[in-house]
């Protein structure tokens, strides 16, 4: 965790000091490495110190922090971007990091890392992300520049699974994780949840700016209907799971509300009222919160304790990877041209 925080801070410093797109991309890459570690280890540390039957409430609190930050983040980001002080978005983290020296031998810790498995999965996911990023924007989807990274990434993931199953001494993904039906259900739902969520946070600010002529800051506040319903719902769902020892009802309830809310959001037009759009957001946010804090349990409930760490690592990886894929999917499917802001406003809107 300490190393991940340090890497994230270094990436923030590089991004904040960047003078061009190449430096900014490099800084964001470093930040992503650190941020991925923080996301994964937060869940792993929670599973180490809290018994499974008590994790519902604490996992809800973890979800509360995530959802609150997701709601406040666009407002803070919009205000900095609007005033052209975007560098501080990256530099602020430097004032929040104070790292003690962890005990133990660094050499022994490094020997426990599955370096080959890490290299395979990182290289493969980077290749897929590059292909998805270039597709339809820099190059045509049928071009070699897009197909080659996607194919290489797909083959790399297959090789990663084979290596983990046959040769890895300390595998990142034990074979039992992907052969367990209950765990697979949790993994699939975790990935699927990321796609509508990223679409929601991508389109709603654009909708408010284009159709209601809201400023970036105002558009950020108008999506609070999602952000501030997800947070309390994660707590309530987690508490219910802790009290009843049943995780399926919150999952069923959450998916039903999420699908209903997303369907209603598709009916919004340029003349829809703010109250209507916020009401649909609230319905969707409650569904997201219920599912978000519940899929954690099918991932772990049928696995031995010693497999908690790799299961949670895969859980967080799928959430992050599918979120990134969702962003690229929605980016390549822009809203109707008549609803988009003028070209000169698009960079500000995207911020």
Distance between CA atoms of 281 and 286, rounded to whole angstroms? 9
Distance between CA atoms of 190 and 122, rounded to whole angstroms? 20
pLDDT digits (tens, 9 = 90+) for 306-348: 888 888 888 888 888 888 777 766 665 554 444 444 444 444 4
**142 is written with which tokens?**
């049928």
For the purposes of burial, counting CB atoms within 10 Å of the CB of 194, is it exposed (0-12), middle (13-18) or buried (19 or more)? buried
The confidence score (pLDDT) of residue 46 equals 75
Pick the CATH number of 173-329 from 3.30.413.10, 1.20.1260.10, 3.40.630.180, 1.20.1250.20: 1.20.1250.20
Q: Residue 29: is its pLDDT beyond 90?
A: no
Average pLDDT over residues 218-247: 82
pLDDT band at 350 (very low <50, low <70, confident <90, very high): very low
CA proximity to 149, closest of 132, 171, 173: 132
Average pLDDT over residues 61-79: 68
DSSP 92-139: GGGGS---PPPPS-HHHHHHTS-HHHHHHHHHHHHHHHHHHHHBTTTB
Q: For the chain, which residues make up each domain, given as ranges?
A: 113-169, 173-329
DSSP class of residue 334 equals P
Look at the block and give the residue holding tokens 């005990």.
103
pLDDT band at 137 (very low <50, low <70, confident <90, very high): confident
Q: In this structure, is the dihedral angle defined by the CA atoms of residues 63, 36, 109 and 101, taken in order, positive or negative? A: negative
C-alpha 181: how far from chain center: 24
Distance between CA atoms of 89 and 111, rounded to whole angstroms? 36
Contact (CB, 8 A) for 216 and 349: yes
**157 is written with which tokens?**
């993931």
The confidence score (pLDDT) of residue 84 equals 63
- Predicted TM-score (pTM) of this structure: 0.68
CB atoms < 10 A from the CB of 296, how many? 27
**81 is written with which tokens?**
């971007």
Query: Can you state the percent helix, strand and coil of the chain, rounding each to 5?
Result: 80, 0, 20
Q: Which helix (H) or strand (E) holds 79?
A: helix 55-82
Average pLDDT over residues 15-23: 78
Higher-confidence position of 50 and 153: 153
Distance between CA atoms of 252 and 250, rounded to whole angstroms? 6
Q: Which residues make beta-bridge pairs with 139?
A: 135
Q: What is the SS3 assignment for 19?
A: coil
Of the segments 53-62, 163-172, 247-256, which one has the largest average pLDDT value?
247-256
For the purposes of burial, counting CB atoms within 10 Å of the CB of 207, is it exposed (0-12), middle (13-18) or buried (19 or more)? buried
**106 is written with which tokens?**
């660094």
CB atoms < 10 A from the CB of 86, how many? 15
Q: Residue 304: is its pLDDT beyond 70?
A: yes
Look at the block and give the residue holding tokens 């649909």.
280
pLDDT band at 154 (very low <50, low <70, confident <90, very high): very high
- Mean pLDDT (the chain) is 79
Contact (CB, 8 A) for 120 and 163: yes
CA proximity to 300, closest of 117, 51, 58: 51
Dihedral pair phi/psi, residue 229, rounded to 5°: -105, -30
């Amino acid at each position: 965790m300490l190393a991940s925080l340090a890497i994230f801070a270094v990436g923030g410093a590089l991004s904040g000091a960047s003078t061009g797109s190449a430096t900014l991309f490099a800084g964001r890459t470093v930040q992503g490495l650190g941020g991925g570690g923080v996301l994964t280890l937060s869940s792993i540390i929670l599973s180490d110190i809290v018994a499974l039957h008590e994790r519902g409430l604490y996992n809800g609190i973890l979800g509360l922090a995530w959802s609150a930050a997701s709601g406040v983040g666009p407002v803070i980001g919009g205000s900095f971007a609007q005033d052209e002080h975007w560098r501080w978005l990256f530099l602020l983290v430097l004032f929040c990091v104070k790292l003690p020296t962890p005990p133990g031998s660094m050499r022994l810790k490094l020997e426990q890392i599955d370096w080959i498995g890490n290299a395979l999965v990182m290289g493969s996911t980077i290749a897929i992300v590059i292909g998805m990023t270039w597709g339809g924007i820099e190059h045509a989807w049928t071009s070699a520049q897009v197909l080659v990274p996607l194919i290489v990434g797909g083959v790399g993931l297959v090789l990663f699974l084979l290596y983990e199953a046959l040769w890895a001494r300390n595998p990142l993904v034990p074979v039992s994780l992907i052969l367990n039906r209950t765990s697979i259900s949790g993994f699939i739902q975790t990935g699927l949840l990321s796609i509508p969520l990223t679409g929601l946070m991508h389109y709603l600010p654009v909708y408010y700016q284009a159709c209601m002529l809201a400023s970036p800051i105002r558009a950020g506040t108008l999506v609070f209907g999602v952000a501030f319903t997800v947070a309390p719902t994660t707590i309530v769902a987690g508490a219910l799971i802790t009290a009843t020892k049943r995780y399926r009802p919150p999952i069923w309830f959450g998916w039903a509300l999420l699908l209903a809310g997303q369907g209603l959001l598709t009916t919004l037009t340029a003349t829809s009222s703010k109250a209507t759009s916020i009401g649909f957001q609230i319905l969707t946010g409650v569904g997201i919160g219920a599912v978000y804090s519940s899929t954690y349990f099918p991932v772990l409930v049928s696995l031995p304790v010693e497999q908690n760490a790799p299961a949670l690592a895969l859980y967080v990886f799928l959430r992050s990877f599918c979120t990134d894929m969702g962003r690229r999917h929605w980016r390549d499917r822009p809203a109707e041209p008549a609803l988009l802001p003028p070209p000169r406003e698009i960079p500000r809107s995207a911020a």
